[in-house]
Structure 1
Amino acid sequence: MTTAPSLDLDRYFARIGYAGDAARTRAVLDEIIARHTSSIPFENLDPFLGTPNRLDLASLQRKLIDGRRGGYCFEQNLLLRTVLLSMGFAVRALSARVLWRAAPDAVNPRSHMLLLVTVDGEQRIADVGFGGLGLTTSLAFDSALAQPTPLEPFRLVHADGEHTLQAQLGETWHPLYRFDLQAQLPVDYEASNWYLSTSPTSKFVTTLTAARATSDRRYALAGRRFTTHRPGQPSQHVVLEDAAALRRVLEERLLIETSALDVDRAFAQAQA
C-alpha cells in the first residue's frame, strides 16, 4: 500500500480556495482540479531564469502553495498526486510522449506526467500540468467518445495498448500526448525534470511560458505575447511592451507572485 508523503491539506485547500469536504468522490475530484487550475498557473519562470525545478514535496509546497507560484507538469501533478493520496484516492502516476505541435512522425521522449485516478469505481484521467490546453476536469479513461469540459471537448483514442489524448479546436481534433499504463514513481521523473529545467536545448529554458485556465477562458503567455482564448470567440493577442506590462500580466492575469522574480531580466530574455 502506497503511503502518501506528509502534506498540509489545509494550506493546499486555502491556496486553491476549496472549502468543501475531503470525500473520495468524482464531484470532489473535479472541483479540486477546477480550483487547482484556476489558482495555480502553469509557468517555467525558474528554469527560464536559471534555477532548476525541484520535485521534493517540501520544495513543491514552498513554491506552489506558500510562494503563490506555479510550475510545469512534474511540479503540478506531483503536488496533485500527493493531495489525492492524502485524501485516500487510488492514484497511479503515468508518463506520456508529447504530440502537440510535433511532426506526425516524431518520436518524443516521455517528458510529460499525468495521473490515473480511480474514483466511484471508475478510472479517470487527471492532469493539471499541460499548460495552454490543460484539463480543467477529469476525463473518463475507458471512453472513446468526445467528452465535454467547461472549455474544449477532449477524447481518448485507444489503440495497441496506447492511449492518445486529443482536444477539439474548431472542427479539428489535435493530439496532445500519448501514454500507456506503466506506473511511475516520483523518482522516475527526476531525469526528465533535470533535462527540461537545465538543458540549453529545452524549451523551458529558452522560452518564457505561462498559462492559466478559468471556467470560461484560457490565458497564455509565450515570450512577450499574451493571449486570451474564449471558446467560440476569436482569440485576443497583446504584445507586451515592457517589463512593467509583463509584471502586470504575471500578477493580475496569471496570478503569479513576482516579488522574488527578476521580471526585468525575464522580459529582456523573452522573445518578442
Structure 2
Amino acid sequence: MTYSFDLAAYLRRIGYQAPVQPDLATLRALVAAHVAAIPFENLDPLLRVPVVIELEAIERKLVHAGRGGYCFEQNHLLRAALSAIGYEVTGLIARVLWGRDEDAITAQSHMLLRVDLAGESWLVDVGFGGQTLTGALKLEADTVQPSAHEPYRLLHADGVWRMQTLVRDTWGTLYRFDLQPRYPVDYVVANHYTSTYPESHFLHMLVVARSLPGRRLNLRNRDFVIHHLGGESVRRTLQNVAEIRDVLQREFSIRLPEHPELDQRLDALPFPE
C-alpha cells in the first residue's frame, strides 16, 4: 500500500479548524497551533529507542500516538503539512550555538525550514525546544521581529545567518546556518548523530518543552519551569517518578510510551544542583 500523508489528521492533532491556504496568516497560525499541541521531547533517545525520520513513522508517532519529538521529527512533519497545503518549502540545517561561544564549531544537528511565499522568504522552526520560534521570521537581516513570545532577529555576514532571540534583555544566538537546500540523507546522518552519539545530551537528560499562548513550559530532567510572558517564572523540582509522569502527561499532553525501562530512566534523572 502506498503511503499518503494525512493532512486532515495533522490538522486535528494541532486543533486547527480554520480553512487552510498557502498564505502568511495561515503559516503563522499553523506554527502557533503546532508548538502548542505537539511538545518537543526526547524520550526515545533517552530510552535508546531509534528515532526514525521517515515521514510515515513520524506521522504515526506525533500525530496518531500522542507523542512529541525533536527537530528532525517536528520540522519534517510541518514540512509535509505545508507542502500538502501548497507552500514552497525548503529544508535547511544549522549548527546549534545556544549556550555556547559565538565562534564554536558544532555539528550540523538542527533542522529548520525556509518557506518562499509571494516573492518573500520566511523561516519557520517548530523544533528548538524551550526557545522554539512560535511564528514565521522574514529572511531579513538586522530587523527585530516579534513573535507570539520573545522577539527574534537574524544577523547575516559572508553567507552565514544567525538566528537570535531576546531573553531577559540579552540577545542570544540559537544557531547559525546557510541557505543551501539539504537532501534527505543529510538529515538521516544528522539524526543518527544526534540520537546515538554517546556524547549527545539527548541520551543522558530529559528535555521537554511546549509553547502555549502567554507562556512556555520547560522540563530539564526534574526541573519544571513555567515561563510567563512578561511575568515571573514558576519553578518546581519533581521529586519522584510519579510526579515526572504526571507533568509529562498533564502539562505536556504526552501519551507515554509503554517501555519496560521508562520508570527506571525517569528515576535516574538527576536533581538540580
Give your verdict on TM over 0.5: yes
Matching residue of 1:265: 264
Matching residue of 1:196: 194
Tell me, in whole angstroms, the C-alpha distance in 2 between the residues paired with 1:216 and 1:231: 5
Task: Report the secondary structure of 1:219's partner residue.
Answer: strand
The CA deviation string for residues 166-220 of structure 1, in whole angstroms up to 9 with x for no partner, is 0001211001000000001222111111121112211011111100001111001
The CA deviation string for residues 221-270 of structure 1, in whole angstroms up to 9 with x for no partner, is 10111111112222211110111111111011111111524541232231
Q: How many residues align?
A: 268
Mapped contact 1:247–1:263 kept (Cα < 8 A): no
Q: Select 1:84's aligned residue among 77, 82, 85.
A: 82
Mapped contact 2:41–2:70 kept (Cα < 8 A): yes
The CA deviation string for residues 24-60 of structure 1, in whole angstroms up to 9 with x for no partner, is 1001111110000000000000110110200001110
Tell me, in whole angstroms, the C-alpha distance in 1 between the residues paired with 2:163 and 2:40: 19
Tell me, in whole angstroms, the C-alpha distance in 1 between the residues paired with 2:185 and 2:63: 22
Q: Select 1:44's aligned residue among 42, 45, 48.
A: 42
Please report how far the alpha carbon of residue 77 of structure 1 lies from its aligned counterpart in structure 2 after TM superposition. 0.4
| 2:267 maps to 1:241 | no
Mapped contact 1:246–1:263 kept (Cα < 8 A): no
Structure 1: gaps of 5 or more residues: none
Letter in 1 for 2:83: L
Alignment of 1:1-272 (within 5 A): 6-261=4-259, 262-272=261-271
Task: Report the secondary structure of 2:182's partner residue.
Answer: coil
Task: Report the secondary structure of 1:118's partner residue.
Answer: strand
Runs of 4+ in 1 over 3 A off after TM superposition: none
Please report how far the alpha carbon of residue 144 of structure 1 lies from its aligned counterpart in structure 2 after TM superposition. 2.1
Tell me, in whole angstroms, the C-alpha distance in 2 between the residues paired with 1:193 and 1:217: 29
User: Is 58-67 or 114-123 further displaced after alignment?
Assistant: 114-123
Question: What TM-score results when the alignment is normalised by the length of structure 2?
Answer: 0.95
Work out the percentage of aligned pairs sharing the same amino acid. 43
Mapped contact 2:47–2:262 kept (Cα < 8 A): no
Question: What TM-score results when the alignment is normalised by the length of structure 1?
Answer: 0.95
Tell me, in whole angstroms, the C-alpha distance in 1 between the residues paired with 2:56 and 2:91: 19
Tell me, in whole angstroms, the C-alpha distance in 2 between the residues paired with 1:75 and 1:116: 16
Tell me, in whole angstroms, the C-alpha distance in 1 between the residues paired with 2:257 and 2:95: 34
Structure 2: gaps of 5 or more residues: none
Mapped contact 2:102–2:173 kept (Cα < 8 A): no
Task: Report the secondary structure of 2:49's partner residue.
Answer: coil
Tell me, in whole angstroms, the C-alpha distance in 2 between the residues paired with 1:123 and 1:92: 10
Mapped contact 1:131–1:211 kept (Cα < 8 A): yes
Mapped contact 2:95–2:107 kept (Cα < 8 A): yes
Tell me, in whole angstroms, the C-alpha distance in 1 between the residues paired with 2:13 and 2:236: 29
The CA deviation string for residues 84-136 of structure 1, in whole angstroms up to 9 with x for no partner, is 11111001100001010013331101110000001233210000000000011
